[in-house]
Amino acid sequence: MSRVAAIDCGTNSVRLLVADVTESFDGTKDLRDLHREMRIVRLGKGVDATRRLDPEALERTRVALVDYAAAIRRKGVERVRMVATSATRDAENREDFFGMVRETLGIDAEVISGDEEARLSFQGAVGDLDPDDGPFVVTDIGGGSTEVVVGTVADGVTAARSVDVGSVRLTERCLPGDPPSKEDVERAREVAHGILAEAFASVPVEGVRTWVGVAGTITTLSGIAQDLPEYDPERVHLSTLTRADVHRVAELLITSPRAEREKLGALHPGRVDVIGAGALVVEALADEFHAKAGIDSMIVSEHDILDGIARSIA
């Protein structure tokens, strides 16, 4: 058994997982969570337009990492891996970020490719599922990018593509209003469908049996669809979200003003301003999977790239 820490720094949030990992005789790795934590830091704020990380966003991220470093020391972690994804890949001043991470954690952050992000997400997402339910398509919607990954438990990833559309990026490009105008919503839908078409051109989903959705946008939609009074990961993990649910919740989020969205118990305050755009991306995915594979529901998983990172260093 080894004790590891995984940190995922995305466009909207930075998350920590501390886990004990045991390897079975057949080579499979089982995780036992000791600590999971998420902070909304909005590292990617403005990066789509400026190609630079904002100093205030860097400071929010540093504060979160100071706390994470303390938790890692308390838990007696043996190995740590931190990966940074969409926002950092795009930033001209990413060296400011790297220096801050070295000073705070004492390790180097890795800016992983979209393909590596997809592979790690897939490994984390399918760990709790029956292999006979594959082939799987896993979608990971972040603040700046979306990954579409196809594979099986036995063979791993067979096709993957990361494209530059996510909740923060789509909000900043298309949805300035509160609530946005119908014209802006329609433009956002067109942009989402257009960018996702690049993923579907590379990743054949025909023949896929099970859709697995991961990361904060999708888990939040599940909590809202269930009308949870507050976010409950146990109720969300392995829940089912139908295509009809996706359309219903997306319509609610995209037409409600901020004051109404803030009343939704399952919605983290840090996602209030971008969840509508995220829902439009999920809606576009749902329509594509229905058309191409006849899939009308997804399994929602709390396990994602964090779990994949943890397994990669065990």
CB of 147 closer than 8 Å to CB of 117: yes
The token duo for 55 is: 């100093």
pLDDT at residue 246 in the model: 96
Helix (H) or strand (E) holding 138: strand 136-141
The model's confidence at residue 88, banded by pLDDT at 50, 70 and 90, is confident
Cα 147–chain centre separation: 9
Nearest C-alpha neighbor of 91 from the set 142, 66, 55, 115: 55
Collapse the DSSP code of 98 into the 3-class scheme (helix H, G, I; strand E, B; otherwise coil) and give the result: helix
Pairing state of beta strands 13-23 and 29-40?
antiparallel
The model's confidence at residue 206, banded by pLDDT at 50, 70 and 90, is very high
- Give the percent of the chain with pLDDT over 90: 68
Contacts of 190 (CB under 8 A, 6+ apart): none
d(CA 25, CA 51): 47
Collapse the DSSP code of 44 into the 3-class scheme (helix H, G, I; strand E, B; otherwise coil) and give the result: coil
Q: Average pLDDT, stretch 188-216?
A: 93
Q: Could you state, in order of their start, the residue ranges of all structural domains in the chain?
A: 2-114, 125-305
Same fold, 2-114 and 125-305: yes
Worst-scoring range by mean pLDDT, 47-51, 62-66, 156-160?
47-51
Q: Average pLDDT, stretch 16-37?
A: 83
Please check the confidence at residue 86 and state whether its pLDDT lies above 90.
no
Instruction: Tell me the per-residue pLDDT of 100-157, one tens digit each, with 9 for 90 and over.
Output: 999 999 999 998 887 788 888 898 899 778 899 989 999 999 888 899 999 998 888 9
Please check the confidence at residue 27 and state whether its pLDDT lies above 70.
no
pLDDT at residue 25 in the model: 64
Instruction: Tell me the per-residue pLDDT of 207-250, one tens digit each, with 9 for 90 and over.
Output: 999 999 998 899 999 999 999 999 999 999 999 999 999 999 99
- Give the percent of the chain with pLDDT over 70: 98
Please check the confidence at residue 5 and state whether its pLDDT lies above 90.
yes
Mean pLDDT for all residues in the chain: 91
Please check the confidence at residue 69 and state whether its pLDDT lies above 90.
yes
Determine the CATH number of domain 125-305.
3.30.420.150
Instruction: Tell me the per-residue pLDDT of 283-297, one tens digit each, with 9 for 90 and over.
Output: 999 999 999 999 999
Residue 254, Cβ density class (10 Å: 0-12 exposed, 13-18 middle, ≥19 buried): buried
CB of 257 closer than 8 Å to CB of 276: no
pLDDT at residue 189 in the model: 94
Q: Does domain 2-114 have CATH number 3.40.630.30?
A: no
